[in-house]
Amino acid sequence: MPAQQQPIGDEVRVRPREPLILRSVPAAYYENHQLASAVQSVEAALFSICFCQYPQAFMTMYSGLEKLCKNIAHLSKKENFHVSWEAAGKKLNLLQHPLFEKLGEPKRFFVQSHWSSLRNDIEHQGDSPSYDLRAANLLFGSLWDAYQLFLIEGYNFNLEGSFLPDTTRSLKYTRKILQKILETTLEPSSPYFVDPLTAQLRWLTLPTFLAGEFNFEKYVNSGMLDENTNEWGKKIASQKPRLDWEKVECPVCGSAHSILGFEVYVDGSVATLHFEAFFCPECNFTTRDNSIHPFMAEQLLSENLDKKIKNIANGFRENSLVVSWGENNF
C-alpha cells in the first residue's frame, strides 16, 4: 500500500523566505509570520517599481501596512484598517504624531483616509496609468513614513538602513525630489522622481534575471558601451546640437562611464554652465534639465559637478562658472 502523501498546496508552517533587496530583517521576522508578510510587502512593492507599476506597488504596501498595524495591536485580520491604524498608534503612543492628524467632519485620519480612497479607486476600477502619479506620491510620501515609523517604534527595525548603501541613497534621492515638488505648485505629468530608485533596483536585480552575472568590463571591451552611448548622444544632439560632454560618476550606480551634457554661456563677466542632460550607459539612468525634470539633476548631480567645475571652466578659459539647471531655477 503506497505511503500517504501530503496534497500539494496544503498549508505548511515554513521558514519565511529570505529577502533579496532587504539585507537585514528583525529577528521576529522568522517567528512572526504576519510580520514577515508585512516586511515582504516592501520588497514586493520594490519589485513592482522595477517595472514602473506604481499602483500595484502602492496596493502591496497598503496591504502590508494594514497587516503591520494589526500585528502591533494584536487585532483580528477582519478588523477595518482605520480601527487597526488607530489601535497601533495608541499602542505605540503615536497618536500625537502628524501622521495621525484628524481633519474634516466627521473627524477622520487624514493620511489614512487618502490611502484608503486611492486603494478603493484602484480596487474597483483596476490598475491604470492615470493612477501612477497619485500612487507614487503617496507611496514615497506618507505611506513610506508610516512604514518606517511603525517598524522602528514597534520592532526597533530601521527599514531604510536594511538596504545596500546605493539603494538607500537612491531612495533618499527619490523622496527628496518628491518633497521639493510638493513644496511648490508644480503638477508633474509623470512620477519621474522615482527614476533614480527604479534604475538602481533594476541594476541591483539584473543578475537575478540573467543566466550569469552581467559582466560590465566585458561589455565595455566589446565596444557596445561606446555604441550605446553614441546612439543616445546622437538622439540628444539632434535636439541640442551644440552640447559639450563631460564624464562624471553616476549617482545611482557609481559608473565612471556616465556623461553630462551642457552648454556654456558668457554674458559680460559672468560665465554660466547650463545643464542639459545626463546619461549612464551602465544602469541606464537619465535625466534632463529643470524644464523637463524639475529638481532631479540638481539633487543628484550637484556634488559630482562641483568636483568637475574648475576643470570645465579652465577648458573654456574662464576663471569660474555659475551653474544653471534649466529654464526653471526654483
Q: Which of 140, 163, 186 delimits the end of a domain?
A: 163
Span 169-200, pLDDT tens digits: 999 999 999 999 999 998 899 999 999 999 99
Q: Are residues 42 and 147 in the same domain?
A: yes
Contact between 184 and 330 under an 8 Å Cβ cutoff? The reply is: yes
pLDDT above 60: residue 204: yes
- Pairing label, strands 322-324, 270-279: parallel
Domain that holds residue 49: 27-163
For 43-52, the CB contacts below 8 A with 24+ separation are 43/19, 45/139, 46/21, 46/201, 47/21, 47/201, 47/205, 49/194, 49/197, 49/198, 49/201, 50/198, 50/201, 50/202, 50/205, 52/132, 52/194, 52/198
Residues 146 and 246 in one domain: no
Q: Is residue 93 included in any domain, yes or no?
A: yes
Do 155 and 259 lie in a common domain? Answer: no
In degrees, rounded to 5, the angle at the alpha carbon of residue 246 between the alpha carbons of residues 243 and 252 is: 110
Please give the DSSP secondary-structure letter assigned to residue 17: P
Confidence of residue 77 (pLDDT cuts 50, 70, 90): confident
User: Would you say 166 and 252 are in contact if contact means Cβ atoms under 8 Å apart?
Assistant: yes
Q: How many domains is the chain built from?
A: 2
Among 147, 163, 179, give the residue marking a domain's end. Answer: 163
Q: Are residues 146 and 251 in the same domain?
A: no
If asked whether residues 156 and 250 sit together in one domain, one would say no
**Residues 38, 154 within the same domain:** yes
In a domain, 87, yes or no: yes
Average pLDDT rounded to a whole number, residues 202-207 = 85
Are 134 and 248 members of one domain?
A: no
159 and 63 in a single domain? The answer is yes
Residue after which a domain boundary falls, among 163, 188, 218: 163
Answer yes or no: is 104 within a domain: yes
Residue 207 clears pLDDT 80, i.e. is over it: no
Confidence category of residue 239, pLDDT binned at 50, 70, 90: low
Banded pLDDT at 7 (limits 50, 70, 90)? low
Quick check: 256 pLDDT over 60? yes
More confident residue, 151 or 326: 151
Cell digits of residue 283: 544602469
Domain contains 132: yes
Decide if 221 is inside a domain.
no
Strand partners, 103: 108
How big, in percent rounded to 5, are the helix, strand and coil portions of the chain? 55, 10, 35
Do 265 and 146 belong to one domain? no
Note whether residue 3 is domain-resident: no
Residues 145 and 243 in one domain: no
pTM of the model: 0.87
Looking at per-residue pLDDT, the higher value among 185 and 238 belongs to: 185
316 domain residue, yes or no: yes
Residues 58 and 139 in one domain: yes
Any domain includes 77: yes
Q: How long, in residues, is the chain?
A: 330
Q: In this structure, are 159 and 249 located in the same domain? A: no
